[in-house]
Amino acid sequence: MARIAGWERGFPLVQLMAYTPYVLVLSMFALLFVVLCRRWLAAGFLLIGVLALALAVLPREIGGPEEVPGGQPVRILSLNLGRGYAHADEVAELARVRDADLVAVQEITPEAVAKLDHAGFSVLYPHRVLLPAPQASGGGIYSRWPLRDLGRLEGEFNQPRAGVVVPGALPIELDSVHPMAPTTPSNTGQWADEYDTMPAAGTTDLPLVLAGDFNATLDHAKLRDLIDTGYRDAAEVYGSGLVTTWPSRLEWPPPVTIDHVLAERGISVAEYDVERVAGTDHRAIFSELLLPPVNPG
């Protein structure tokens, strides 16, 4: 009920809400058990709950690639570098294999900047807006196309914004997103406050794309409210909305989906995938977006 109504408030309800898909699975087993015990009244109430959760969770696995005749592809790779410890050679190879046009990174340190350039980023991505910092605070945007530095989002971590000159299409704004993680009562309050400062769709001069570690799943009301301003989640559109991104391995806590690419409505999704990278506990996310043609028809 809390998930359906968006009632999660504060610590630890915000944390627990991330595990809604697991609750759905457990509730299905509970329903089966109650039915086998012939507790029909309880089964009826449980069935209502299961159906409500299923309607909230399962649609994010229904979707597929979109097509835009004459659309301009923009390939975006996003990765939390795990305090700069992600293996730079793997990141650079992944960017090459995916032919990424833009790379949004979180938790980038000055040392990680040097390692990525040594691994090939200096050639692959001559344009960049970087705000490296020690530990988890850094953020950056790399591009094969010219960028315009638009400052940063509000928040404790560095979240750079950049205008991107896309050949054959209108320019876009790409933001590398990394709000505070809601790991403690005080951090949870800060997390909520930072979400309130996130740019709503349609509020900037350029079409917006947000990519990064959102520290929220599609079951969090804060993220859903942001999306409802006019974004679409690339993974959900593609039908991969339950593919987990953190932690990257099967360990405690159970994996959830907190890394996202959000694109304003009007931007289509042609591809989405996740990749494991050594050295970080986040999976990299890749999305190919399609911008509408400048002169359609």
Structure tokens at 205: 């001069």
Q: What is the reported pLDDT for 296?
A: 52
One pLDDT digit (tens) per residue for the chain, 297 residues: 555 556 677 788 999 999 999 999 999 998 898 888 989 888 898 999 889 999 999 999 999 999 999 999 999 999 999 999 999 999 999 999 999 999 999 999 999 999 999 999 999 999 999 999 999 999 999 999 999 999 999 999 999 999 999 999 999 999 999 999 999 999 999 999 999 999 999 999 999 999 999 999 999 999 999 999 999 999 999 999 999 999 998 888 899 999 999 999 999 999 999 999 999 999 999 999 999 988 755
Distance CA 16, CA 30 (A): 19
Domain boundaries, the chain: 2-61, 72-291
Given this model, what pLDDT does residue 251 score? Answer: 80
CATH number of 72-291: 3.60.10.10
Q: How many helices (H) and strands (E) does the chain have?
A: 10, 12
pLDDT at 249: 85
pLDDT at 43: 85
Q: Where are the beta strands (DSSP E) in 120-207?
A: 127-131, 139-143, 147-152, 160-164, 172-177
- CB distance 75 to 272 below 8 Å: no
